[in-house]
Amino acid sequence: MSDREIITSKRTGDSCIHVKHKSGLDVYIREMAGFSSVYALFGTKYGSVNTTFKLAADEEYTEVPNGIAHFLEHKLFENEDCGVFELFAKTGAQCNAYTSFDKTCYLFSCTKDYTENLRILLDFVQKPYFTKENVDKEQGIIGQEIRMTNDNPEWRVLFNMLRGMYHSHPVQIDIAGTEDSIAQIDADLLYKCYDTFYNLNNMTLSIAGNIKADEVLAICDEMLRPCEDKGLETVFPDEPDDIVQAEIREKQSVGASIFQFGYKCLPCKEDFLRKEMTASLAVSYLTDASSEMYNRLLSDGIINASFGGEVFAGDGFFTVIFSGESEYPETVKEALITEIKRITDEGINEKIFNRIKKATYGDLVRQLCNVTAAASVMINTHMAGCKPFDVVDIVSELTAEDALSFIRNELLPEKTVLSVIEKI
């Protein structure tokens, strides 16, 4: 028997259904009357950083090559009969998948026949088919993809920064791995990783739009094969607090030099969403277009409208990144360090902070009325150990003092890395 829970936002009144299905799968359903589309994600908490793991019955940890989570995602789109894209094409649905640092998701969007599309999604993800021949073929395809991303300046500037920041954590490695690491992948390894991480107790289904919960759950009853929770544990290498290298430069054929200036923050084991949103508000405050720093750099031609910031965080890593186009990235770096020192000494302007907080809150509420965003929020918050509407509550409760505390304690000048891709 599956347990059904209705989760309601105390602030907006929006609600969704959470079911811990008898198969072990967590299912999130958001019925959105009046919408014509449906968006579904079937995901596993398994990304590129999960290279060391064991089950409760194992005596030793298993370590696998970098890039295997992404490789596995590619291979699941093939089965013995035909390609998955062909199956979705027959229904008129759009399908895709992605592997990030800490999750892999398979998805579809459609405006009709959602029940048939849901059956296809649940079916193919539960049917791995790996052979020596199709693995060898995929190594060539992904090898080409790796070579292409190595020539991508936006990708290079990020991973150069991460390599300057992290000594041991696998976040510094390209999601697709390297040509050497994927050459070590074979069918047996793929099956081992699939059996470990694609256990339904480690997975989530999130679906939103023009749907009926009873129909979704009936299809889950029909398609899902019960799994025993085998006690999965993942670990990461010990990571020092300090950085590896403060500056990394590389030349490429780009129209304008680009940079990423990052702060290595302490990883978060508890209250991850709260720390992430606190950091996000702090970053928005620092990059606010009305600030004196922003307008001075803009008027001096140091930055342009591409300048911005983001929080980049996950299992065992937490960073704040400022990026953009500039021929003077060192000037941007010094301006940010100076501004952070000023804010640390003088405090945060509460009027500006509250404006930014209200804008962020409004964006989050608007996402609840978007089918794609609603489904994405449900799966992302669950994998972060939270409930779907927690983020709205958290943002509403954060204060200028919270943001100031984060800036003071985490954005330290000795924890910075500047990565630059210069014009040849």
DSSP string, 274-325: HHHHHHHHHHHHHT-TTSHHHHHHHHTTS--TT-EEEEEEETTEEEEEEEEE
What is the set of domains in the chain, with CATH numbers?
3-234 (3.30.830.10), 247-423 (3.30.830.10)
Write out the H or E segment, with its range, that includes residue 147.
helix 132-150
b or e along 310-339 (b: 16 or more beta carbons within 10 Å of the residue's beta carbon)?
A: bbbbbbbbbbbbbbbbbebbeebbebbbeb
C-alpha triplet 181, 187, 188: angle, nearest 5°: 95
| CA 223/CA 264 separation, integer angstroms | 43
pLDDT value at position 351?
A: 96
- Strand ranges inside 104-155, DSSP E: 104-110
* Catalytic annotation, residues: 73
**For each successive 10 residues of the chain (424 residues), what is the average pLDDT?**
84 95 97 95 97 95 96 84 83 94 97 96 94 91 91 94 97 95 96 97 98 97 94 94 97 92 92 95 96 96 96 95 97 98 96 97 94 96 93 95 98 98 91
pLDDT for 268-306, tens place per residue?
878 899 999 999 999 999 999 999 999 999 999 999 999
Pair 129, 77: CB distance under 8 Å: no
What the block records as the tokens of 293 is: 């720093």
- Only one residue has tokens 């699939």, namely 194
What the block records as the tokens of 22 is: 């008898």
